Structure 1
Amino acid sequence: MPQTVRGVISRSKKQPVELVDIVIPDPGPGEVVVDITACGVCHTDLTYREGGINDEYPFLLGHEAAGTVESIGPGVTHVAVGDFVILNWRAVCGECRACKRGRPHLCFDTFNATQKMTLTDGTELTPALGIGAFADKTLVHQGQCTKVDPEADPAVAGLLGCGVMAGLGAAINTANIGRDDTVAVIGCGGVGDAAIAGAALVGARTIIAVDTDNRKLDWARSFGATHTINAKELDPVATIQDLTDGFGADVVIDAVGRPETWKQAFYARDLAGTVVLVGVPTPDMTLEMPLVDFFSRGGALKSSWYGDCLPERDFPTLISLYRQGRLPLEKFVSERIGLDAIEDAFHKMHAGEVLRSVVVL
């Protein structure tokens, strides 16, 4: 039987979110109902509310989530009832050209649940990133569930579902940072600090954090930054070069995603160095630079989608490192809130007061 539960929706552009009753259908073929335990408040949810993704309102927000599999539909073999899972928005298809070439982390045809969750009047909801986890329960495709150690704190584990994984993966998977590398990270919110934590985890020699907010720079130090630069006070490019023997960093990660920060990343790297863009630009942003600079400086210019992660490979490993005390994921949780406090959490996030507010159910 379909279930009626609480969920947080965005009904129209730039309007406050609402806590309403929503209807969760029984899982169909390949689908799973997950009882949500915790869900992080990510900037992407705010972008949905602001109309920055598309206009398919109403949205059921929330996607950085962990919970327990409550029921499964026909043909589900990936998870079982009772499994503790992290939800992801990359349910690998196994059939697209990327998957067939052995690159499932780039899957071009990921799955979501086929059925729609609805309001009680039958209005179909668009779940954020195909998940919709600001709710007591949600409906997803089985491939969107990754089983992990049930002893992990759900408020911590769920953050791997988006922002924290994006930053860690940008450092470890996309940039392939190695021991003794010099690294700079521009933008020290949740994604940037996760990139810093990833660089520290793999043994980078120098990790330089760049931001305009001293509070965020303090956070960056707690995740492993060896040096910090307030970009309001110092030229980031010149200072990064000064801190790397005049050469520039081996890897520079742009966790902001603006033309000016990308240019800083480009010119702050060493010759043949790597730039990774993980911050998400808006469609109106453009970039104009001398083409000869791309040729003469060499190296690699990369974009990182979801940290180039493969959830089945990466989530259990990162949870294991967290459980061993080698990866301080718990530091990302700034506060634990209820479903009725999400609008306030958006304001705190926009003001830079928190790394992550986490809804705990």
Structure 2
Amino acid sequence: MAAQQVRGVIAPGKNQPVEVRTILVPDPGPGEAVVQVQACGVCHTDLHYKQGGISDEYPFLLGHEAAGIVESVGEGVTEVAPGDFVILNWRAVCGRCRACLRGRPWYCFDTHNAKQKMSLEDGTELSPALGIGAFADKTLVAAGQCTKVDPTVSPAVAGLLGCGVMAGIGAAINTGSVTRGDSVAVIGCGGVGDAAIAGAQLAGAARIIAVDIDDKKLATARTMGATHTVNSKETDPVEAIRELTGGFGADVVIEAVGRPETYKQAFYARDLAGTVVLVGVPTPDMKLELPLLDVFGRGGALKSSWYGDCLPSRDFPMLVDLHQQGRLDLAAFVTETIELGAVEQAFDRMHQGDVLRSVVVL
């Protein structure tokens, strides 16, 4: 059978505007699936790809925060079938690496993607963002990248669990082990930070302190579950967090910015034996300097959260169910829905901090 021709948003070269082009999607081979994309969020990682911050394997097929319907599957695929409503993930666990074999599949060190490549009409192979490439009518993925969830949920909402919202909720619940009665501070209130706030609320945290330099973002953080807000432009956040926690510091501090300055704030704003979770993504040139005696003397844990340490098969259906019960407002993360041709403008709005998530609806 011939490959299908569909529309897709590609990044042709470093910092060049994105383009909507015709792309070729091959039929699924063994272990692969073709998914008809219904919605895909515009994530900061897509912008990193466009800017060359991830690799230089242009052209990229952008988009990875997606939900849709399985159209066809290749040989040997049993976990999903045509017609299934799925969220796409970039952690298709292998089941064989040392993390999987030790019963920690959320750390899988050998996640896999589709073997075949999608391409432009002239045969140029595309590099799909995070192995997904979902700013397209259809995309080819490894079947393990498809997680079946309740089909009655809105695709625009469900897709967000594919990346940013899962990263934030998981940073609080999975990595930070936030539990009932805890005090939690979240530094950086973009999409991931707000999701961490929502996750802390879901876990039963008693006090949730949102820290940002933008009052608009702090106002949004309150709607997501923050009980207190701190504008760190005007107030020393470490002092403010201590003051709001009886002078001690928070049990868990989640750093959702990814900068040395904010990481240090997180480090000193936690209680003795508290936990710091880094979920903000630093750049390769950043360095961190801390007195080793303080690292020792304060005890506790300094953790990094990859993808919210999520196991998609476990976490996506659970979070969709909580949303359907009205206990987790995922719709609050969708600022606007847009068409495939409006991705470049969505990047501009993201840059200005005007949106939590623009979602492409196909």
TM-score by length of 2: 0.99
Structure 2: stretches of 5+ with no match in the other structure: none
User: Does the alignment pair 1:134 with 2:135?
Assistant: yes
The 1-side partners of 2:330 and 2:289 are apart by 37
Matched with 1:325 is 326
The 1-side partners of 2:3 and 2:79 are apart by 22
Q: CA deviation at 1:111?
A: 0.8
The 2-side partners of 1:290 and 1:207 are apart by 28
Matched with 2:105 is 104
Matched with 2:44 is 43
Matched with 1:80 is 81
The DSSP-based 3-state class of the residue aligned with 2:77 is coil
The 2-side partners of 1:152 and 1:339 are apart by 21
The 2-side partners of 1:293 and 1:16 are apart by 46
Q: How does 1:171-320 map to 2 (within 5 A)?
A: 171-320=172-321
The residue type paired with residue 74 of structure 2 is: G
The residue type paired with residue 31 of structure 1 is: E
The 2-side partners of 1:131 and 1:237 are apart by 39
The residue type paired with residue 68 of structure 1 is: I
Q: CA deviation at 1:278?
A: 0.2
The 1-side partners of 2:290 and 2:271 are apart by 18
The residue type paired with residue 160 of structure 1 is: L
The DSSP-based 3-state class of the residue aligned with 2:33 is strand
The 1-side partners of 2:289 and 2:173 are apart by 29
The 1-side partners of 2:218 and 2:261 are apart by 19
The residue type paired with residue 58 of structure 2 is: Y
In the TM superposition, what whole-angstrom CA distance separates every residue of 1:255-283 from its partner, at most 9, and x where no partner exists?
00100000000000000000000000000
The DSSP-based 3-state class of the residue aligned with 2:267 is helix
Matched with 2:124 is 123
In the TM superposition, what whole-angstrom CA distance separates every residue of 1:302-339 from its partner, at most 9, and x where no partner exists?
00000000000000000000000000100000000000
User: Does the alignment pair 1:341 with 2:315?
Assistant: no
Matched with 1:357 is 358
Matched with 2:94 is 93
Q: CA deviation at 1:289?
A: 1.4
The residue type paired with residue 8 of structure 1 is: V
Matched with 1:159 is 160
In the TM superposition, what whole-angstrom CA distance separates every residue of 1:23-82 from its partner, at most 9, and x where no partner exists?
000000000000000000000000000000000000000000000000111111110000
The 1-side partners of 2:169 and 2:318 are apart by 12
Q: How many residues are matched?
A: 361
In the TM superposition, what whole-angstrom CA distance separates every residue of 1:128-185 from its partner, at most 9, and x where no partner exists?
0000000000000000000000000000000000000000000000000010000000
Q: CA deviation at 1:288?
A: 1.1
The 2-side partners of 1:46 and 1:27 are apart by 28
The residue type paired with residue 329 of structure 1 is: L
The residue type paired with residue 31 of structure 2 is: G
The 1-side partners of 2:55 and 2:259 are apart by 20
Structure 1 stretches of 4+ with a deviation exceeding 2 A read none
The DSSP-based 3-state class of the residue aligned with 1:35 is strand
For the aligned residue pairs, the C-alpha RMSD in angstroms reads 0.4
Structure 1: stretches of 5+ with no match in the other structure: none
The residue type paired with residue 84 of structure 1 is: F
The DSSP-based 3-state class of the residue aligned with 2:134 is coil
User: Does the alignment pair 1:12 with 2:10?
Assistant: no
Counting aligned pairs with the same residue, the percent is 75
The DSSP-based 3-state class of the residue aligned with 2:91 is coil
The 1-side partners of 2:57 and 2:202 are apart by 39
The residue type paired with residue 233 of structure 1 is: E
The residue type paired with residue 113 of structure 2 is: N
The DSSP-based 3-state class of the residue aligned with 2:335 is strand
The residue type paired with residue 128 of structure 2 is: P
The 2-side partners of 1:200 and 1:39 are apart by 26
The 1-side partners of 2:163 and 2:284 are apart by 21
The 1-side partners of 2:316 and 2:251 are apart by 27
The 2-side partners of 1:162 and 1:258 are apart by 20
The 1-side partners of 2:275 and 2:64 are apart by 30
Q: CA deviation at 1:202?
A: 1.1
